[in-house]
Amino acid sequence: MTIQRRLTTLAAGLLAGLLGTAVMVLLMTIGRAWFGISPPPEAIPDRFAPTLDIKTFFDLFGRFGGYNGLKKFGIRSGLGGLVAAGALVGLLYPVVVESARSRRWGPWRSGFSRLGVGFVVVAALVLWIATLIVLWPVLDTNYRGLQPSIAQPVTAIWLLLCYAAYGAVLVLSYRAITRRVAEGEETRREDVLPVGEPIARRAVVAGAATVALAVPSYGLIRRLYDQATFSYDGTVYSGPGIEPIAPNDLFYTVTKNVVDPDVSKRVWRLRVDGHVEDPKTYSFDGLTALQSVDQETTLMCISNAIGAGLFSNANWKGVPMATLLGEVTPRDGAQEVLLHAADGYTDTFSIEKALDPTTLLVYEMNGEPLPRRHGYPVRVVVPGLYGEKNMKWITRIEVVDHDAKGFYEQQGWGPDFEHPTRSDIFSPRWRRGRNDAFTESFRVNQRATIRGRAFAGARGVESVEFSADDGQTWQPVRVDYPGTRLTWVFWSVDWRPTEPGEYVLVSRAVDGTGAPQPTEAVGITPMGARGYHRVRATVEG
């Protein structure tokens, strides 16, 4: 084979591979945007994130600019990997075809051979099977809310369709590009490959087709990007203006997803099964027809640092999980509930906690249907446990007879996920840093009102105290919002400094059992932050 011929076939194969990749990416994007099917660039990070230890996980945050930066890197890398794989198979295809032609392996026509087709079929099947093996733990993800048992085969079949479409477009477009046309008729000489103007024109057409297919893909990707979580993931609720009941749009938000589920209430079902006598499936209407309760509950993220605002309170309406478990009858030996969500997220807590009447499957938040970002149509609220256990977009409750591990628990978080007693200061405004300090100065003999909050999970808050001398002396505070046993408490105290200088203001709480707030400062990993919140105040004469 001449160098010119070799380069021509490789160029044709590359173009055909890119055209096939454009079709494959378009189908994957359609599957994600319309049917909630998670494509490999999105599913692979979800598959491997739980396998990372906590240190590596946070090191990646630092390297890529936080969780959102890491998410963007994962999607870009996944799309780049698809394009690279499609281009590589495209480059290999003409090598196989030309080998078949030169060795007379089976019937051959310009740009087409049984061996070449066989190569593409095998490549697509190998890629599909490898994808299923790698993504099996998250293959039941469906962002429209399909039941996991249905989502798994739907995802597998859709991926097969995507890979098959790639292979078919690769074979047909390569043949179209390399087919010899002379004086209006196809020339079928086996020893000649055209390298002139007809191929150049077809190559331009193939390139134009690739670009044309990229346009709708870009449009759908852009639509998904507009819905992405980057604008609200990590939303905190803190500062002087916070209220006892957080508005829905200001309620703290943390999500692992690039684009959160957009669950269809008509499609959504909740399956309760596993180690039970009588598994059941509930539609949304079936669930909401059950006896409901209204409950005020505070949620807080395990990653909430002392004094930070991944922390909010709301009124919830829903059905006790105990009601559903009572209908399916857990068998002897039931140990935990393993919860599954539409976004592939999983988590667990004890069967005793699941049967607690305060553990709810909620569908309203502050008198409104759950917002999408907070778990529409149904989420779990489990008082006393960190936010990661209060799962959104829940689709399945699986009762298990062993110690199962959830998404983040696999990284090494825990094993204790109960809230320690916490208290902090949120007003006047202060800046976070190595030494937290108020952004404004105080005046000697001028009264300042210090406001804060305290929280003790599901144990309630018995009392709060304030100190203006870094804990050497303490005084009681006013309780402005007592909340309930399941919520935070808002407090305030009047402080009138008598001398100029630097002061360290600090608060502490006692929970409903009489246990004091932990004094030792502990970081957020692996069981949440503990210790006193200290804020430095400058008093001017």
CATH of residue 317's domain is: 3.90.420.10
pLDDT tens per residue, range 198-207? 566 777 888 8
Angle 66-103/3-35 helices, nearest 10 degrees?
140
414, 417, 419, 424 alpha-carbon torsion, rounded to 10°:
40
Question: Other C-beta atoms within 10 Å of 169: how many?
Answer: 24
In a domain, 158, yes or no: yes
Angle value at C-alpha 238, between 237 and 239, nearest 5 degrees:
145
pLDDT by residue (tens digit) across 39-88? 999 999 999 999 999 999 999 999 999 999 999 999 999 999 999 999 99
Q: Domain end: 366, 391, 411, which one?
A: 411
Among the residue ranges 67-81, 100-114, 153-167, 347-361, the one predicted with the least confidence is 100-114
Cα 16 to Cα 90: distance, rounded to the nearest angstrom: 6
Do 396 and 508 belong to one domain? no
Name the 3-class secondary structure at 60: helix
Are 186 and 274 part of one and the same domain?
A: no
More confident residue, 188 or 485: 485
Buried b / exposed e over 359-389, threshold 16 CB at 10 Å, is bbbbbbbbeeebeebbbbbbbbbbbbbbbbb
Residue 183 has pLDDT above 50, yes or no: no
- pLDDT, residue 177, reads 85
DSSP 449: E
**Per-residue pLDDT averaged across 208-237, rounded?**
92
> Is residue 340 a contact partner of residue 326, using CB atoms and an 8 Å limit?
no
471 domain-assigned = yes
Range of the domain at 522: 422-540
Question: What's the structural domain count of the chain?
Answer: 3
Locus of tokens 């292979």: 167
How confident is the model over 405-451, as pLDDT tens digits? Answer: 999 999 999 999 999 999 999 999 999 887 899 998 999 999 999 99
Tell me if 297 sits within 8 A of 312, measured CB to CB.
no
| 301 plus 379 within the same structural domain | yes
Q: How many CB atoms lie within 10 A of CB 79?
A: 20
Q: What is the DSSP string of 175-213?
A: HHHH--EETTEE---TT----SHHHHHHHHHHHHHHHHH
Please indicate, yes or no, if residue 161 is contained in any of the structural domains: yes
Q: Is 323 helix (H, G, I), strand (E, B) or coil?
A: helix
Give yes or no: residues 179 and 283 share one domain: no
User: What is the structure's pLDDT at 1?
Assistant: 53
| pLDDT value at residue 386 | 98
Share of the chain above pLDDT 90, in %: 83
Confidence check: pLDDT of 193 > 60: no
**Whether the predicted pLDDT of 404 surpasses 90:** yes
| Final residue in a domain of this structure, among 384, 411, 438 | 411
- Is 254 a residue whose pLDDT tops 60? yes
Distance CA 14, CA 3 (A): 16
- Do 436 and 463 fall into the same domain? yes
Question: Residues of the chain with pLDDT > 70: what percent?
Answer: 93
- Cα atoms in the 13 Å half-sphere on the side-chain side of 314: 29
Checking if the pLDDT of 181 tops 60, the result is: no
* For residues 145-157, average pLDDT: 96
Between CA 73 and CA 62 the distance in angstroms is 13
**434 and 404 fall within a common domain:** no
Residue that is last in its domain, among 366, 381, 411: 411
CA dist list (Å): 431 to 266, 467, 508: 46, 19, 20
Nearest-10 crossing angle of helices 3-35, 148-178: 150
295 and 330: one domain?
yes
Question: Is residue 232 over pLDDT 50?
Answer: yes
Q: Is residue 417 part of a domain?
A: no
Under 8 Å CB-to-CB from 346, ≥6 apart: which residues? 338, 339, 340, 404, 406, 407
Tell me whether residue 243 is in a domain.
Answer: no
Q: How far is CA 147 from CA 269, 312, 340, in A?
A: 6, 30, 10
| 485 & 348 share domain | no
Whether residue 502 sits in one domain with residue 404: no
From 81-95, 184-198, 227-241, 522-536, the region with the lowest mean pLDDT: 184-198
Contacts within 8 Å (CB) and 24+ apart, 45-49: 45/71, 45/74, 45/75, 45/78, 46/138, 46/141, 46/256, 46/343, 46/344, 47/134, 47/135, 47/137, 47/138, 49/256, 49/407, 49/411
Let me know if residue 370 belongs to a domain.
Answer: yes
Q: Hey, what are 486's tokens?
A: 């399941």
376 with 505, same domain: the answer is: no
Q: Which pLDDT does position 100 carry in this prediction? A: 63
Q: Are 317 and 258 in contact (CB under 8 A)?
A: no
Q: What is the CATH number of the domain that holds 476?
A: 2.60.40.650
pLDDT given at position 112: 54
Residues 103, 189 within the same domain:
yes
d(CA 75, CA 89): 21
As beta bridge partners, residue 326 has none
User: Model pTM?
Assistant: 0.91
Q: Find residue 362's DSSP bridge partners.
A: 318, 379
Name the region of 324 (left: φ>0; alpha: ψ -120 to 50; beta: rest).
alpha
Query: Residue 210 falls within a domain, yes or no?
Result: yes
What's the mean per-residue pLDDT of the chain? 92
Q: Is residue 394 part of a domain?
A: yes
- What single-letter amino acid sits at 207? G
The pLDDT, as a whole number, for residue 110 is: 46
The verdict on 71 and 185 lying in the same domain is yes
